[in-house]
């Protein structure tokens, strides 16, 4: 099991009596998400971020949730985590039994919804979810139900940006651990488009360039292999798609502030852990 233990991984075998659960999360550093299996729960789930990013694949569509955004996943919708980056916020799951009014528009769609808040609205939402968490911890069901209903009232307007199938396919390829991270040109050729067009599409949808995502995937794979301590540095460089070990060392140090060897040594003696180290 991965070092990440999100709410939904602990919710296996939910009983029909399940009503509601919420937790506050604070994740820093590197997390291996490759062994987190696809999940499909009989309840609604949502993640609200105050910092960081989470990239999730939901039925062939990739959605990037950032700070001041809510990602709402309908019940029985399969999803898979592709990438975490130092995210803070809240994760929640609830059944219809938790609601005073189940007719909110956000609950009528069978599609995942990504909803953004302004800075002002985000501050209120954070306060509201803090109150919801406190009510849950104190088993104050009436206050929890009222807070949840108020939160859902605020999810009436999902973002309407169209999702590009090309970007979905690109991100799936980049985070596919069965293949080495490649160059932008290689992915563009496979998608039958130009590198410039791929970059424009990816940046427009995610806020990151195609190369940014390739480097994120390459760096995360390098960290994973360094922690496993089974391969030589040159072998790890090759596995991440970099044939030049010197370039790999420069690339790693630029992003992590230490060489691959130093990172491995620190990881082996416990000086680097997911709660402290961050990209």
Q: Give the model's pLDDT for residue 108.
A: 86
Confidence label for 215 from pLDDT (cuts 50, 70 and 90): very high
Beta-carbon contacts of 156 under 8 Å, excluding residues fewer than 6 positions away, are: 104, 105, 106
CB 115 within 8 A of CB 157: yes
12 or 28, higher pLDDT: 28
Closest C-alpha to 151, from 114, 124, 116: 124
Distance CA 23, CA 235 (A): 40
Q: Give the model's pLDDT for residue 7.
A: 38
By mean pLDDT, which of 113-127, 159-173, 248-262 is the weakest? 159-173
Domain-wise residue ranges, the chain = 7-153, 165-268
Tokens of 179: 């293949």
The mean pLDDT of 226-252, rounded to a whole number, is 94
What is the second-level CATH architecture of the domain 165-268?
Orthogonal Bundle (1.10)
257, containing H or E segment: none
Q: Give the model's pLDDT for residue 163.
A: 65
Give the pTM: 0.76
Distance CA 104, CA 172 (A): 32
Confidence label for 269 from pLDDT (cuts 50, 70 and 90): confident
- Domain 7-153, CATH: 2.60.120.280
Q: Which long-range contacts (CB under 8 A, 24 or more apart) does 254-258 make?
A: 255/215, 255/219, 255/279, 256/219, 256/223
């Amino acid at each position: 099991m991965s070092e990440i233990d999100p709410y939904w991984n602990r919710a296996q075998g939910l009983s029909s009596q399940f009503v509601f659960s919420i937790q506050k999360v604070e994740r820093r550093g590197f997390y291996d998400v490759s062994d987190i299996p696809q999940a499909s729960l009989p309840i609604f789930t949502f993640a609200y971020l105050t910092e960081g990013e989470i990239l999730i694949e939901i039925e062939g569509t990739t959605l990037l949730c950032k700070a001041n955004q809510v990602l709402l996943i309908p019940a029985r919708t399969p999803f898979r985590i592709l990438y975490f980056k130092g995210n803070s916020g809240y994760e929640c799951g609830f059944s219809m039994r938790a609601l005073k009014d189940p007719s909110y528009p956000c609950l009528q769609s069978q599609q995942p919804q990504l909803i953004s808040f302004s800075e002002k609205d985000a501050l209120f939402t954070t306060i509201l979810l803090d109150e919801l968490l406190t009510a849950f911890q104190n088993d104050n069901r009436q206050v929890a139900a009222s807070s949840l209903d108020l939160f859902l009232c605020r999810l009436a307007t999902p973002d309407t940006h169209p999702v590009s199938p090309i970007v979905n396919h690109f991100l799936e390829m980049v985070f596919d651990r069965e293949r080495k991270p490649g160059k932008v040109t290689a992915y563009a050729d496979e998608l039958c488009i130009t590198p410039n067009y791929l970059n424009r599409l990816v940046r427009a949808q995610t806020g990151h360039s195609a190369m940014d995502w390739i480097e994120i995937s390459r760096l995360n794979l390098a960290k994973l292999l360094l922690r496993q301590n089974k391969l030589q540095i040159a072998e790890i460089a090759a596995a991440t798609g970099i044939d030049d070990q010197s370039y790999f060392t420069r690339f790693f140090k630029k992003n992590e502030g230490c060489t691959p060897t130093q990172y491995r040594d620190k990881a082996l003696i416990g000086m680097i852990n997911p709660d402290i180290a961050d990209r």
